[in-house]
Structure 1
Amino acid sequence: MTGAALAQAARALIGCPFLLHGRDPRTGLDCIGVLEAALTACGITTRLPNAYTLRTRCLPPLETLIGLLGLRDAEGPATVGDVLIVRPSPCQHHLAIATAPGSFVHAHAGLRRVVEGPLPRHWPVVRHLRPTTKRT
């Protein structure tokens, strides 16, 4: 899976309704659902964690899952297809997929749909992941 393929798959989800724990683009997606649906469109079938609340202080263990999904840790500015885990508030984590410099696809709970645009600068990046060309 390339970053360009993941970004293109994420862009295809723009406009889908927001639904906490949502995994079906027809009925709704949350941020993890956006990643799962984009991965599926890239030929990587997986079921991402679904036992979480909107507000939490900790992330589930991701190490094994990241390798299985063909992602690796990255540094520097986000490039097309990178996945950022950001923290909008002290008790909330959020995923976003880079589609262009400074632009991301993510499920926006406030707007109730999947959108594309910049992320607020005050959201710290907790983890920066990049697709590899092959799954590990």
Structure 2
Amino acid sequence: MTGSGLALAARELVGVPFRLHGRDPRSGLDCIGVLEAACSACGITTRLPARYTLRSRRLPPLADIAARLGLFETHGQPEPGDVLFVQPGPCQQHLMIATGPCRFVHAHAGLRRVVEGPLPAGWAVSRHWRPLP
């Protein structure tokens, strides 16, 4: 899986409806579903966690998820295909896939669809991963 391939696969999901715990682009995706579907389009088939709430004090097993997808932790300017774990608010966690240094694809619960745009102001980046070269 290349970063540019993951970014292109994520971009293909823009417009898919939002659905909490959604894992099928035909019926809807949440942020983890976007990552799972984009990875699947790149030939990486895995089932990511599906039992969680929108707000939680407990983080999912991030290192395990990243390892299963062939991602390594990094820092700095996002590149296409990088996966960011962000905190939109207190006790909220969210995943985004970079399509460029300042653009990201993610499932937006408020807009009820997968969107592409800049990192919203105030969303703190907790973890930053990149596909292995």
Q: TM-score range by the shorter chain?
A: over 0.9
TM-score using structure 2 length = 0.97
Residue in structure 1 matched with residue 58 of structure 2 by the alignment: 58
Residue in structure 2 matched with residue 85 of structure 1 by the alignment: 85
The offset of 1:35, in angstroms, is: 0.1
Q: Which amino acid aligns with 2:58?
A: C
CA contact (8 A) 2:73 2:127 kept: yes
Q: How many residues align?
A: 133
What secondary structure is seen at the aligned counterpart in 2 of 1:92?
coil
Shift >3 Å, 4+ stretches: none
Residue in structure 2 matched with residue 121 of structure 1 by the alignment: 121
> What value does the CA root-mean-square deviation take over the aligned residues?
0.8
Verify: 1:72 aligned to 2:72, yes or no: yes
The offset of 1:62, in angstroms, is: 2.1
Separation in structure 2 between the aligned mates of residue 39 and residue 55 of structure 1, nearest angstrom: 25
Q: Which amino acid aligns with 2:94?
A: H
Q: Which amino acid aligns with 2:60?
A: P
Separation in structure 1 between the aligned mates of residue 68 and residue 5 of structure 2, nearest angstrom: 17
Separation in structure 2 between the aligned mates of residue 64 and residue 30 of structure 1, nearest angstrom: 19
The offset of 1:121, in angstroms, is: 2.5
What secondary structure is seen at the aligned counterpart in 2 of 1:89?
coil
Residue in structure 1 matched with residue 40 of structure 2 by the alignment: 40
Identity %: 68
What secondary structure is seen at the aligned counterpart in 1 of 2:116?
strand
Deviations 1:39-89 (A, max 9, x none): 000000000001100111221112223112110001111111100000001
Residue in structure 2 matched with residue 23 of structure 1 by the alignment: 23
What secondary structure is seen at the aligned counterpart in 2 of 1:17?
coil
CA contact (8 A) 2:22 2:30 kept: yes
Q: Which amino acid aligns with 2:8?
A: Q
The offset of 1:130, in angstroms, is: 0.5
**Unaligned ranges ≥5, structure 1:** none
Separation in structure 1 between the aligned mates of residue 39 and residue 8 of structure 2, nearest angstrom: 11
Separation in structure 2 between the aligned mates of residue 108 and residue 47 of structure 1, nearest angstrom: 21
Separation in structure 2 between the aligned mates of residue 55 and residue 27 of structure 1, nearest angstrom: 23
The offset of 1:5, in angstroms, is: 0.3
Residue in structure 2 matched with residue 109 of structure 1 by the alignment: 109
